[in-house]
């Protein structure tokens, strides 16, 4: 009977160590970013029903010796009536100390139902509305971003103003 117990114990220890080694290997791969699902996800832009986000990009640029990021956004009107987009606001970016960055569209141009508007640009989203002394450093080329934005629009048929919240994910280009 002792020999059966010893065989069972050796069996459990051998496979136990093998499981520990596999868990350590998987942990090391996850720690060094090999198993990061963000590497395999394509860029994505989401808006609620009624507006379609056809394309977006967050790019890196330099202006007057400082690094900045720019959001480019192309949307399509699927609301069934003509709208006027009056404001686009980037409300959060994966940067510490980020505050809201507002871009008002002046003059406002009507957007017919089913029409694709030219690209909208929100410049210098890396700084938000922070004062220059507390300026946030821009995200460099190739880094991943996650941002939230709002689009304020007016339905020209009813005269009512609506706010749409969207999200965008991707890599800085």
Task: Give the pLDDT of the chain (173 residues) as one tens digit per residue.
Answer: 567 788 888 888 889 999 999 999 999 988 887 876 666 668 888 888 888 888 888 877 777 777 777 778 888 888 888 888 888 888 777 655 555 566 555 556 667 776 666 666 666 665 555 544 445 566 667 777 788 888 888 888 888 898 989 888 888 77
CA angle 43, 46, 47 (to 5 degrees): 155
Q: How much is the pLDDT for 37?
A: 65
Nearest to 48 by CA among 170, 164, 167: 164
Query: In whole angstroms, what is the distance from residue 51 CA to residue 151 CA?
Result: 10
Query: In whole angstroms, what is the distance from residue 100 CA to residue 107 CA?
Result: 22
Query: In whole angstroms, what is the distance from residue 54 CA to residue 112 CA?
Result: 16
Q: Give residue for tokens 């969207």.
A: 166
Cα distances (angstroms) measured from residue 6 to each of 9, 14, 20:
5, 12, 21
Within a 13 Å sphere around the CA of 95, how many CA atoms are in the beta-carbon half?
Answer: 27
């Amino acid at each position: 009977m002792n020999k059966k117990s010893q065989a069972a114990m050796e069996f459990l220890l051998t496979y136990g160590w093998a499981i520990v080694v596999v868990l350590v290997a998987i942990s090391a791969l996850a720690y060094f970013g090999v198993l990061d699902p963000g590497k395999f996800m394509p860029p994505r832009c989401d808006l609620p029903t009624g507006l379609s986000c056809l394309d977006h990009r967050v790019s890196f640029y330099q202006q007057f010796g400082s690094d900045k990021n720019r959001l480019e956004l192309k949307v399509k009107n699927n609301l069934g009536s003509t709208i006027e987009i009056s404001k686009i606001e980037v409300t959060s970016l994966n940067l510490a100390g980020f505050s809201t960055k507002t871009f008002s569209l002046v003059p406002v141009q009507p957007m017919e139902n089913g029409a694709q508007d030219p690209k909208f640009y929100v410049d210098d989203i890396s700084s938000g509305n922070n004062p220059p002394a507390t300026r946030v450093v821009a995200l460099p080329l190739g880094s991943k971003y996650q941002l939230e934005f709002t689009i304020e629009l007016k339905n020209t048929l009813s005269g009512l103003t609506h706010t749409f919240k969207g999200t965008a994910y991707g890599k800085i280009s």
